[in-house]
Chain A
Amino acid sequence: TQLLEQSPQFLSIQEGENLTVYCNSSSVFSSLQWYRQEPGEGPVLLVTVVTGGEVKKLKRLTFQFGDARKDSSLHITAAQPGDTGLYLCAGITGTASKLTFGTGTRLQVTL
């Protein structure tokens, strides 16, 4: 069974702080996605990373895929209350795009 462990599980920070969320596995994935989920809604895709070592930036969010394609990180600069939510990494193997989701990191950003 492929497992994706995320850390930390919970994070409560103040507006303007920086943070990093980690997603680790012992398995190799062909690609990895990050989603954000708000209460009462389904996850929404933030980014897909495909190449080992790849770095993608989305405004204040920076995503990195590990060289061995077993781990990833999400860094948020100057967090804002609108960043609050559950962040999920999801690994993809094979051709069916079946996602293996991480354990989740719940982020709360307060004023």
Chain B
Amino acid sequence: GAGVSQSPSNKVTEKGKDVELRCDPISGHTALYWYRQSLGQGLEFLIYFQGNSAPDKSGLPSDRFSAERTGGSVSTLTIQRTQQEDSAVYLCASSPRAQIGNEQFFGPGTRLTVL
């Protein structure tokens, strides 16, 4: 079956430009998460969507970061006026529902490089 997919797999942009990263979760999964991973280290939580509830944006590092989830499925993470410190791998995960102990299924990530 299809897992979580993300696009593009790699993105190189210039400082100051806007970028959009896309996540297609596993069909039927109501919970969707975005994480950021720098230099092969641990993941940093960014934002979480659960069904039609208001998203938990508590992990977004600045107001340059935003995300939306249309129709309860596809999600887009937008970074405006990119900075070099935004360079990282951005990972998306989905889960059948937000329940303690539920497995999160991760996509392969988008590697963002800001020059």
Contacts and interface: CB of A to CB of B under 8 A. Distances in A.
The reply to whether chain A is a binding partner of chain B is yes
Interface residues of A, number: 28
Contacts of B56: 96, 98
A97 B108 contact: no
Contact of A101 (B43, B48, B109): B43
Given A88-B42, A96-B98, A101-B42, A45 B107 contact: no
B42 A97 contact: no
Given A50-B101, A97-B98, A97-B104, A86 B40 contact: yes
B99 A43 contact: no
Nearest to A86: B40
A42 B109 contact: yes
Nearest to A31: B101
Q: Of residues A31, A43, A106, which shows the largest number of chain B Cβ atoms within 10 Å of its Cβ?
A: A43
B52 interface: no
Nearest to A93: B100
Contacts of B74: none
